Amino acid sequence: MSLYHLGWKATVATASDLVAKGGRPQAFLVSIGVHPRRKVEEVEELVRGVYDAAVSMGAWLAGGDTNGADREEWIDVAGFAVTKKPIGAKADQCIAVYTTVGRYGLTGLAFHIYARGAYDEIRGYPEAYRATTQPEPRLEFLLLAEEMRDCITWASDVSDGLIPTLERLSMLTGEPVCLERLPPIHPEAEAYARRVGLDAESLVLRGGEEYEIVFGVKRACITEIEKTAYRLGLRIARIGSAGAQCCSSDTSTAVIDTRVHLYLKTRLSPAYTRWDQLRGWT
């Protein structure tokens, strides 16, 4: 990954958090720590990635801070957004869980290639390469959030993986979460899984940094939210439920922990691994 891509991804990671709360990114500040031996051109490449990412979403780079780093180099991006009413975390007793779709499996594919050490293979999967070098926040979700704000009880971007995102939902609401079905898998991920002999579903569960948006919807709003998303051209899929009353017992249930239950007939044990930015495969 180039320094340009690193700057781009750091900006999108911040923007995606803002979007998940219903905020439209307006401006960013970047702080970097670089080694004294870094060339000026390299630092400019890093910052250009931040700038271009900001501009791509209609925002701007307002400034930042440059520091020397004798050992570990770093980048930190802060963002500002506007919203009429931010999305919080309301603990309704029974909500439907949805996600935006289109990218699931792509980053899992890329991380699996990385783990195998077959780095050049990623070029054969252009959508996966783009998803891991120049991802985009789901700005389209903002249109849905603006129209259906009173129906959306909670939202988070999928940056650490689908299961950790559902774990956060459970901890914030105090209710168990049932993943009843996986979101649609990208065709590139399915093709890769067939080629290397993987279960394609595992690429969804072991991914991360998809920057899709998972959100909770009041039961009374299910029909309306689906109609509105269709009208807006936003692809969404209902993947489960949150709330003890909605999570009924089932013989095919596998309990990942006390918070997340998977209602799936798949090979769950090897599937529940994910890429952690600090620890690698967990």
CATH architecture, domain defined by 95-281: Alpha-Beta Complex (3.90)
Q: Higher confidence at residue 82 or residue 265?
A: 82
Residue in the block written with tokens 């960013």: 28
Point out the least confidently predicted range of 120-124, 156-160, 162-166.
Answer: 162-166
Residue 70 has pLDDT above 90, yes or no: no
Instruction: Write down the pLDDT at residue 253.
Output: 46
Q: In the chain, what are the domain boundaries?
A: 3-82, 95-281
Q: Higher confidence at residue 212 or residue 95?
A: 212
Give 8-17 pLDDT, tens digit per residue.
Answer: 999 999 999 9
Give 193-228 pLDDT, tens digit per residue.
Answer: 999 998 888 888 778 899 999 999 998 999 999 999
Give mean pLDDT, residues 18-36.
95
Task: Take residue 238 and report the two structure tokens written for it.
Answer: 């209902």
DSSP character at residue 182: P
- CB 43 within 8 Å of CB 169: no
* pLDDT band per the 50, 70, 90 thresholds, residue 247: low
Taking the C-alpha atoms of residue 28 and residue 24, their distance in angstroms, rounded to an integer, is 12
Task: Take residue 142 and report the two structure tokens written for it.
Answer: 């903002």
Q: Higher confidence at residue 269 or residue 141?
A: 141
Q: Provide the sign of the torsion angle of the four alpha carbons 98, 99, 101, 106, taken in this order.
A: negative
- CB 153 within 8 Å of CB 206: no
Which residues, other chains included, contact 9 with Cβ-Cβ below 8 Å and sequence gap of 6+?
1, 49, 53, 133, 134, 135, 209
Angle at 257 between CA 255 and CA 262, to 5 degrees: 35
- The fold of 3-82 is 60s Ribosomal Protein L30; Chain: A; (3.30.1330)
Residue 109, judged by CB atoms within 10 A of its CB (0-12, 13-18, 19+), counts as: buried
- CB 275 within 8 Å of CB 269: no
Instruction: Write down the pLDDT at residue 205.
Output: 79
Taking the C-alpha atoms of residue 135 and residue 114, their distance in angstroms, rounded to an integer, is 17
Point out the least confidently predicted range of 32-41, 217-226, 271-280.
Answer: 271-280
φ and ψ of 48, to 5 deg: -65, -35
* pLDDT band per the 50, 70, 90 thresholds, residue 144: very high
Percent of the chain at pLDDT exceeding 90: 59
Distances 31 to 57, 61, 76, 251 between C-alpha atoms, Å: 20, 11, 5, 51
